[in-house]
Structure 1
Amino acid sequence: MSNDSDLIKLYSSRILALAADIPHLGRLDDPDATVNRRSPLCGSSVTVDVRVDGDRLAEMGQDVKACALGQAAAAVTAQAAVGADLAQLQKGRDQLRAMLKGKGDVPDAPFAGFEVLTPAVEYKNRHASILLSIEALTEAVEAAQTAKAI
């Protein structure tokens, strides 16, 4: 069972600062793809719009309705993602999943900012919210690239 000091670490000032300043907030007009993800466990949701240029994410917008941890994860995702290619996004997503399961280290650059969420490893009920933004973003880039290839 966790104690109060664990919860204080979980909601550190760094996490709260990220949650208060999420980059790329808002929806894009005429995106190449849009994906909405919702965590049934906590009700957090994220909608991500993307525009791609070749194999790279050129622009993104996001509407984030999540707890502080989900918001912080959305901020880290948005700070790192623009300019990344699909393989980098997939790797960041997979490394974050592994980190949260306790089976991997902090994701590599450009997603090393997820280090701030390492205290959440012990809180499995928060993992879905933390993963929402990067999962939605990766899925949206995949959909945009598929649509442009047709």
Structure 2
Amino acid sequence: MSDGDLIDLYSKRILALAADIPHDAALADAMATARKRSPLCGSTVTAQVSVEDGKVSGFGQDVKACALGQASAAVLGGAIMGRTRDELATAREQLKAMLKAGGPVPDAPFEGYEVLRPAKDYKNRHASILLSLDAAIAAMDEALAQDG
């Protein structure tokens, strides 16, 4: 990877997102917690959720990842409140398709993932980018199982 490629990949917008991750504190009244780790790069994300009427009513995340993983967590943190498990799963599949197959940007309110489009050529970063959604979905699954 050339220096120019790294500069493009870690653009100012990505770094700004990585520096300002919403909901980056523990959630005091979490119904469920899930921790996901990428074995390839060692990134970890712990997500905590509270759910009301099948929608995220509270969210907290602890992100230990590269700038791309942090930027992904920032996009998720800005869009997750009020979302259902199905909306999160759809966003994950759309993000995966954007990264792996050059698919379209995920639907609103997850269109902020567009900033990560340049990472499609860096397959070793895909798992880190998907990690925050994986953790949030796992936490939602646990919360919904308790609630149901």
User: Fold conserved (TM > 0.5)?
Assistant: yes
Aligned to 1:86: 85
What letter is aligned with 1:46? V
Distance in 1, matches of 2:102 and 2:13, equals 24
Runs of at least 4 residues off by over 2 Å: none
Aligned to 1:107: 106
Give the match's secondary structure for 2:101: coil
Is 1:63 aligned to residue 62 of structure 2? yes
Aligned CA RMSD, in angstroms, stands at 1.0
TM-score (norm 2): 0.96
Pairs aligned (count): 148
Aligned to 2:73: 74
Q: 2:89–2:137: 8 Å Cα contact kept in structure 1?
A: yes
Distance in 1, matches of 2:141 and 2:108, equals 20
What letter is aligned with 2:84? D
Give the match's secondary structure for 1:110: coil
Aligned to 1:3: 2
What letter is aligned with 2:15? L
* Cα shift at 1:103: 4.5
Q: 2:9–2:119: 8 Å Cα contact kept in structure 1?
A: yes
Distance in 1, matches of 2:113 and 2:102, equals 15
Deviations 1:11-36 (A, max 9, x none): 00000000000000111124111000
Is 1:39 aligned to residue 44 of structure 2? no
Q: 2:76–2:133: 8 Å Cα contact kept in structure 1?
A: yes
Instruction: Give the unaligned 5+ runs of structure 1.
Output: none
Aligned to 2:95: 96
Distance in 2, matches of 1:34 and 1:12, equals 31
Distance in 1, matches of 2:54 and 2:29, equals 18
Q: Identity over aligned residues, as a percent?
A: 57
Distance in 2, matches of 1:128 and 1:87, equals 20
Deviations 1:55-105 (A, max 9, x none): 100010011111100000000011011111111111101101111102521
Is 1:148 aligned to residue 115 of structure 2? no
Q: Which moved more, 1:2-11 or 1:115-124?
A: 2-11
